[in-house]
Structure 1
């Protein structure tokens, strides 16, 4: 796949590492010459020093033939503008990361089609969701998300639990819990 990564901070560098190992054709873009030099020295990528939302920079990066453009700078607006511009200039798919307080009221960590961007990811919400799930199911032997994480299937082994040998109606369960099977 032809992939453009905008933003070469910690997340961008990690993404380059993964994409490089998978053998994708990657163009790395960052306004920092130092960050671009690091990418060139450590990964098999083409690179451009420049503003990732610039039409000129995106065209030089090959946006018209890009299968995916991912913007992961530390500036939410930059990520959104860069991905919107990339989409308008011909990128097949675009993904933007947002993490500022303006996005903190989100209840889901991933939104599809927001403002014309294919996928918008809020990693802070994703981490909070994962920690919440761990807290809710710390005794679970398995947790499976269904229906785009709107439903959780949780397997719990009771062993020496206070719920053992009690009628189900006498067991205190979290709100909105539906027991689907007892084995």
Structure 2
């Protein structure tokens, strides 16, 4: 795969090293000249010293030929802008890092499928640990081609019962998030616009489910 990473943060550097070991073609972009120069000497990849939010810089990195773009700068706003440019260039996979929950919500509303919030994940695990709870991360539960999908319910689905949602085989509704609460599917709540519907399925069915339940692509989160 040809992967563009924007932002040589610790996350960006670690990701670049891992992808290089897996023999992917990596292009790393960072605005800090000193850091870019240092990384160019130790990483076996293309390193570009430039402002990664600029469309011309991303074009220089041949974003149109990229299989994926990972925006992991230290600025949530920049990461969202990079994601929008990548979407305009029809990049198949776009991953955004956000630290602020407000920008996490904005990224979801804009329809980005893959959003990483290290601060939120880390704080949840630490809080649980302090309470003596051994929390299992979702990432440790996902194996093979299992996928979890989050879909923002549209107005046309208002009043639909979870039992009435037509899903492919090996798929199921887990529940919904509504006003900060999680309602299990067994409670059979009628859907409301802006509910966040959580579905477990196989990777082969993700696009089919999204196309059936969402007319607006900005309501799909994977």
TM-score range relative to shorter protein: 0.5 to 0.7
Aligned to 1:122: 117
Contact 2:31 2:50 in 1 (8 A): yes
Partner of 1:134, secondary structure, is: helix
Deviation at 1:20, TM superposition (A): 1.4
Aligned to 2:126: 131
Q: Which has the higher contact order (CA 8 A, sep 6+)?
A: 2
Partner of 1:116, secondary structure, is: coil
- Spell out the pairing of 1:27-176 with structure 2 (5 A cutoff): 27-100=27-100, 102-103=102-103, 113-135=108-130, 138=133, 143=136, 145=138
CA 1:122–1:43: 2 relative to 1, 3 Å = same
Distance, in Å, in 2 between the alignment partners of 1:40 and 1:137 is 44
Structure 2, unaligned stretches of length 5 or more? Answer: 142-146, 149-222
Distance, in Å, in 1 between the alignment partners of 2:14 and 2:86 is 22
Deviation at 1:41, TM superposition (A): 0.9
Cα-to-partner distance string for 1:127-169 (whole Å, 9 max, x where unaligned): 122224434554x6x9475695xxxxxxxxxxxxxxxxxxxxx
Structure 1, unaligned stretches of length 5 or more? Answer: 149-183
Distance, in Å, in 2 between the alignment partners of 1:55 and 1:91 is 14
Distance, in Å, in 2 between the alignment partners of 1:48 and 1:144 is 34
Deviation at 1:100, TM superposition (A): 3.0
CA 1:99–1:143: 2 relative to 1, 3 Å = closer
Distance, in Å, in 1 between the alignment partners of 2:72 and 2:41 is 20
CA 1:4–1:144: 2 relative to 1, 3 Å = closer
Distance, in Å, in 1 between the alignment partners of 2:42 and 2:82 is 25
TM-score (normalised: structure 1) = 0.67
Deviation at 1:101, TM superposition (A): 6.2
Aligned length: 142
The CA RMSD measured in Å over matched residues stands at: 2.8
Looking at CA atoms only, which structure, 1 or 2, has the larger radius of gyration?
1
Distance, in Å, in 2 between the alignment partners of 1:86 and 1:143 is 33
TM-score (normalised: structure 2) = 0.56
Cα-to-partner distance string for 1:63-111 (whole Å, 9 max, x where unaligned): 111111011111110000011101111211111111136358x7xxxx9
